[in-house]
A = this chain, B = another copy of it.
Amino acid sequence: MKRFGNLILLAAFVATPVMALQWQALPDTPPVPKDNPTTAAKVELGKMLYFDPRFSSTGTVSCNSCHNVMLGGEDNRPVAVGVEGQKGGRSAPTVWNAAYLSVQFWDGREPTLEAQAKGPVVNPIEMGMESHEMLVERRLRAIPGYRPYFEKAFGSGDVVNIDNFAKAIAAYERTLITPDSPYNRYVKGDKKALTAQQIAGMEKFAKVGCIGCHSGGAFAGPAKPLGEGFFMRFPTFTDNPYVEKYRLMDDGGRFEATGKESDKHMWRVPTLLNIALTAPYFHNGAVETLDEAVRVMARTQLGKELPEQDVADIVAFLNALTGEFPKQTMPRLPATPAAVISDIKK
């Protein structure tokens, strides 16, 4: 798979015309780690946990607060708002199709959805729980209504724990996929799925070089094994006014996670699926519109000033990456016992 990915990358960089090889459909199902097979019981539990605000210190913030699955899988804000009105440092990435990505977070610091799910709950400016132990003892085990769901999903015994909490959420997130976009239907053979402008935009997306990084069915780079990320420097070209205007150098990117000089301003190449729904754009949410985001990317990553017609065509194409969203039932959450009422930060 890695070799294959590199070939595509190479093909794209030499600005080929649209060819069958370089356009991939999103697979109907995302990869699933061997140690967490998806089951209906896990998905049901995971959805409950995902929507439950009681896993935040104040009882007000759930996974869905910032990664809203009723919208584009995030919050349409520059940066997210956590407990007590605190603002995060980066924009919430979409949960839709996160299951297809081989690393998680903007800086790719976690390899799996399971590992990702353990982060925000104990981040002091996100969900604000003091530790995983506190989360499990004072909230998860303290809500007795969860135990039967954990047992159904993971068997009996000591199953109400942080690993199964994360596994259930990840299993639910693997159902949050949108393989049915117009683009996907087009590459699978429905030649009417895209408008003429979208097809023109698709060709320009390749010719300009966007596809050099945003390749593959998720438009997030070549397929990689879970845990191995596809990173690029952003901004690559710094000799333009966008860098200051949108504060593109303020955040060290992957460097903040690894401390390695070579990781400075390196970022995971984000998916473009449903990109029309996830404004404002970039890690700091500094760019409000998709056309401006296209201009910024062309200039900072490819050193190009695009004609406005190209911007419009590429934006039209990007709109074809919006999928159909699966219908979902609403979870019911188990009752809140006195111990949790008293533990919730007033």
Chain A residues within CB distance 8 Å of chain B? 51-54, 58-60, 65, 68-72, 75-78, 81, 83-86, 276-277, 279-280, 288-289, 325, 327-333, 335-336, 338, 340-342, 344, 346
B277 and A330 within 8 A (CB): no
Q: Looking at the complex, which one of B76, B86, B329 makes contact with A336 (CB distance below 8 Å)?
A: B76
B329 and A329 within 8 A (CB): yes
Given contacts A65-B60, A75-B59, contact A70 B288 (CB under 8 A): no
Residues of B within 8 A of A54 (CB): 76
Given contacts A276-B335, A330-B329, contact A51 B70 (CB under 8 A): yes
Q: Given the complex of chains A and B, what is the CA–CA distance between A325 and B85 in angstroms?
A: 31
B330 and A72 within 8 A (CB): no
CB distance from A328 to the nearest CB of B (A): 4
Q: How many copies does the complex hold?
A: 2
B288 and A342 within 8 A (CB): yes
Q: List 14 A-B contacts (CB under 8 A).
A: A51-B70, A52-B70, A60-B65, A60-B81, A70-B330, A72-B335, A76-B336, A76-B340, A77-B344, A83-B85, A85-B86, A280-B341, A288-B341, A327-B330
CB distance from A244 to the nearest CB of B (A): 18
A325 and B332 within 8 A (CB): yes
Q: Given the complex of chains A and B, what is the CA–CA distance between A346 and B280 in angstroms?
A: 11
B76 and A344 within 8 A (CB): yes
CB distance from A191 to the nearest CB of B (A): 26
Residue of B nearest to A344 (CB): B77
CB distance from A51 to the nearest CB of B (A): 6
Most B Cβ at <10 Å: residue of A59, A60, A342: A60
Beyond the given pairs A77-B344, A328-B330, 10 more chain A to chain B contacts, judged by CB atoms under 8 angstroms and listed by A's residue number, are A53-B75, A58-B81, A71-B333, A72-B336, A77-B346, A83-B85, A84-B85, A277-B335, A280-B341, A330-B330
